[in-house]
Structure 1
Amino acid sequence: MRHLPWEEAADFQIGLKPIALADWLEGGEADAAVRKDALFARHLGLVWAEAEGSRQAQEEVLEMVGAALGPAPVPAGLPPLYAASRRVPDDLCLMEKRDSQWRLTALSLSAGSFFTAEEVIGRSLAELHDPVTGFGERFLVRVQRIFDGLRPELLLERRNWTVLNSDALHTPSSAPIRARIGEIDATTAGRALNLRVERQTLRRLPRTGGVLFTIRVWLAPLDSLRGDPVRLAGFARAWRSATPQLRAYKRFELYDDLVASFLRDAGAGGASGL
């Protein structure tokens, strides 16, 4: 696991930080096109959507990815944003300002966390974040200002995390995953439960004015923390101190007993019993 976002906060936060342009795309997958093309062919509506009039900005994204990774052949007939997405492990989401609102106008979504491309295409920032408890009151205006003021030379990064009983990147629905929680034996929780970390970036498209939002998902079983006491302790603290709002949104209560069993077995039980 490359990232440890649970060490940064126990509550929702915007958490955007500037990073160097050279750090934009992390890589870490030998050939993302193999995984993505299979989903594109079999489940198109789940993983791809575009709004009319977005192709010019899509082309700019393709050029930016090419500039970062070097030239590569572009398969004929593919939407430009999807052609760019085939070169990186990240999901690529294009936001453009339409009718005074920042809206999602194209996205390649191979590792969506409980949503699909066809569900969210065309949605505004407010609509996209509606499931997040208190987002509108606490963060919406600030996020809109960030999008409005983002400069082409300023690249921003944020991260978040959750625990899930699935090692799949492509998780369009929560129902079949959460339905299996009861089948997990507490003694195997460290293997059955996975840390799911999203590393996200925001970058302005200088020519067309849109914003590219990238999402790179990293997965690792809880057992991967056993050999690193510092990481294990950081996770244990974050789990126990998560705010009620964060716990409710991420449905942590579904995993409390299993995580408690893992932490006790790993030597991080603590006085709370978790």
Structure 2
Amino acid sequence: MEYLSSLENLWRVGLILITTAGVYTIITQACRISLFPGVLLRGRKHSTARTPPRSISPDNKTGISPALSPNYDSALPPQRRHALADFSCEAAPWRDVSEEEVRQNLLPMSANYKTSPSDKYTPMGFSVGEIKGLGDFPDYAKLSGVPLPSPYLEFEISKALPRPYRPFRWAYHQTMSLTKLETDWWIELENTYKSRIAQRKELFAKHGKQVLDAMPGSELACKELMEMVLQFVCARYPQYFTLVGKRVLHNKILGTEQDVTAKPPLEILLDNVPEDFGIMLRDDTTGYYFLRAAVICSALGWNVASKVGKQLHEIHEPIPDYKEKMQFSMDRFFTKMPTEKPIQRGSWGLEIGQPLYMPPGDPHEQLRLSQPTDLTIDECHLRVDWQTLRRLPLSGAVIFNFKALFTPIKEFQDEPGVPELVMKIITEGKKNLMDYKGVWHVQHVVLPELKKWAEEQKEKGLVPRNWEVATLDESPWFNGWQNKWHRQQGF
């Protein structure tokens, strides 16, 4: 009996170890997936071209049998209603509420909270009455568990350059490459601010809902996002942004004063923040996430009109290996993501010029179909879509935001390891991923320069002669990036 008891104990221990290993693997893979073809926990995704926010969906298009599809209809994201205890709200005093009560009284995904019963709940466990009681611009740092950024007082918008993101990985395969968000850098401004705002407003005037749209039920998430972003920029860049009376935004860069209640929230963001935002909402019947609102002026190969209303897997459908390697983990990741753990990643591509917005059928697409014989290295740019993903605390919406950053390829020349790493990815990377990225149209010009620069770096001792090409230790940057960045922008 003692022997059998020992065997039983060993079996239990083994089962625990196997289960633990399985959970660890799942978490690891979930963190290394590509949320939107370009989100990774230390890596990246495919192309910057065609990189939209993604969506989810448990139908047959995924290639997964409905019988095998996970059931998320009762899975709520980590609750945040306990944060109400820190607020004094006579209109909606805090009380303990079970998740079961929340599930039974969920606010439908398509319902406008403003006209809904006060006892309906968002997936985060906040009732409509409580949300209205909090009023405009509540303390989102308390509600989300993510602190406001520290003031960046030495920042000068006319000189500011984006940090030199180089999100290159080897071995290169389709993952998300996610890392913890540096919360001070959620919204990063730089010296193209004025021209980008003007360009984005012009795109909206010309294309309308192809770049900005909000479906019914997204009212709370849009307002919440706008308020969080404005709170952020006022805290991060107080020399440039001030909010007076929770209503009037003073933008000293543009020299404007704007009533933030006078326009739809996404248009307020369009007027003041050169960042793209996609809003994913949880469907109250299936538990899957849909793109319900967005302002996106930096899309290559797609636009808001082609993605809005779709589920996560439908949005990512063009991405190589997404269905086979990432769909399951991404769906689960969205279901479980907490507000206090925002993430970041980078997506990249090589471009001729600096194409910001290239919807399907755009003439710029033709440049990808040939290798121009008169193309020069001066015309070739790295495009990085630096992306972040976070959950909003009241609505439970998952926000995907990014901005397109362009860098001349010639900048790689003095960046240790970058030329050889990029050369390795282009020449030996998985063909379907490289095709998706669309690097072929410039590689005839880029590769010879990368090879020359890689040899120069070894001769100068910047890279060891016997270096085995791999993701840089400083990824998503490179050795010495801070010195170069500070020197170039002057502060």
The TM-score bracket by the shorter chain reads: 0.7 to 0.9
Aligned-pair distance for 1:161?
0.9
When residues 268 and 81 of structure 1 are mapped into structure 2, their CA distance, relative to the original with a 3 A threshold, is farther
1:21 paired to 2:183 = yes
Alignment of structure 1 residues 27-42 onto 2, 5 Å: 27-28=189-190, 29-31=192-194, 32-42=196-206
**2:178·2:344 contact (CA, 8 Å) conserved in 1?**
yes
**2:378·2:410 contact (CA, 8 Å) conserved in 1?**
yes
Deviations 1:7-26 (A, max 9, x none): 46522211111123222112
Specify the alignment match of 1:210 in structure 2. Answer: 397
The counterpart of 1:91, out of the listed 252, 267, 276, is 276
Quick one: which amino acid aligns to residue 81 of structure 1?
A: L
Query: Partners in 2 of 1:248 and 1:161 — Cα distance?
Result: 13
1:43 paired to 2:43 = no
Sequence identity percentage: 22
Specify the alignment match of 1:251 in structure 2. Answer: 438
Quick one: which amino acid aligns to residue 373 of structure 2?
A: D
Aligned residue for 2:297, secondary structure, equals coil
Deviations 1:63-102 (A, max 9, x none): 1112111222345643212312433222011110124221
Q: CA RMSD in A?
A: 2.4
Specify the alignment match of 1:64 in structure 2. Answer: 228
Deviations 1:25-81 (A, max 9, x none): 122243343222111112213311221121111000011112111222345643212
Aligned-pair distance for 1:106?
0.6
State the TM-score, normalized to the length of structure 1.
0.88
Query: Partners in 2 of 1:245 and 1:144 — Cα distance?
Result: 23
Specify the alignment match of 1:236 in structure 2. Answer: 423
Specify the alignment match of 2:97 in structure 1. Answer: none
When residues 135 and 254 of structure 1 are mapped into structure 2, their CA distance, relative to the original with a 3 A threshold, is same
When residues 149 and 45 of structure 1 are mapped into structure 2, their CA distance, relative to the original with a 3 A threshold, is same
Aligned-pair distance for 1:266?
4.5
Aligned residue for 1:6, secondary structure, equals coil
Specify the alignment match of 1:148 in structure 2. Answer: 335
1:185 paired to 2:373 = yes
Aligned residue for 1:49, secondary structure, equals strand
Query: Which structure dedicates a bigger proportion of its chain to strand?
Result: 1
Aligned residue for 1:198, secondary structure, equals strand
Aligned residue for 1:113, secondary structure, equals coil
When residues 58 and 228 of structure 1 are mapped into structure 2, their CA distance, relative to the original with a 3 A threshold, is same
Query: Which is further off, 9-18 or 108-117?
Result: 9-18
Query: Partners in 1 of 2:198 and 2:390 — Cα distance?
Result: 26
Aligned-pair distance for 1:166?
3.2
**2:392·2:399 contact (CA, 8 Å) conserved in 1?**
yes
Specify the alignment match of 2:67 in structure 1. Answer: none
Specify the alignment match of 1:52 in structure 2. Answer: 216
Query: Which is further off, 125-134 or 48-57?
Result: 48-57
When residues 14 and 198 of structure 1 are mapped into structure 2, their CA distance, relative to the original with a 3 A threshold, is same
1:11 paired to 2:173 = yes
**2:423·2:451 contact (CA, 8 Å) conserved in 1?**
no
State the TM-score, normalized to the length of structure 2.
0.51
**1:184·1:192 contact (CA, 8 Å) conserved in 2?**
no
Aligned-pair distance for 1:229?
4.5
Quick one: which amino acid aligns to residue 37 of structure 1?
A: K
Aligned residue for 1:5, secondary structure, equals coil
Query: Partners in 2 of 1:176 and 1:204 — Cα distance?
Result: 36
When residues 157 and 9 of structure 1 are mapped into structure 2, their CA distance, relative to the original with a 3 A threshold, is farther
Deviations 1:95-147 (A, max 9, x none): 10124221111111111121111111111100000001120110011111211
Specify the alignment match of 1:80 in structure 2. Answer: 265
**1:94·1:107 contact (CA, 8 Å) conserved in 2?**
yes
Deviations 1:214-273 (A, max 9, x none): 01111122222234353222322222232123113223334442333443564659xxxx
Query: Partners in 2 of 1:11 and 1:163 — Cα distance?
Result: 17
Query: Partners in 2 of 1:174 and 1:197 — Cα distance?
Result: 22
Aligned residue for 1:159, secondary structure, equals strand
Aligned-pair distance for 1:212?
0.8
> Which structure has the larger Rg over C-alpha atoms?
2
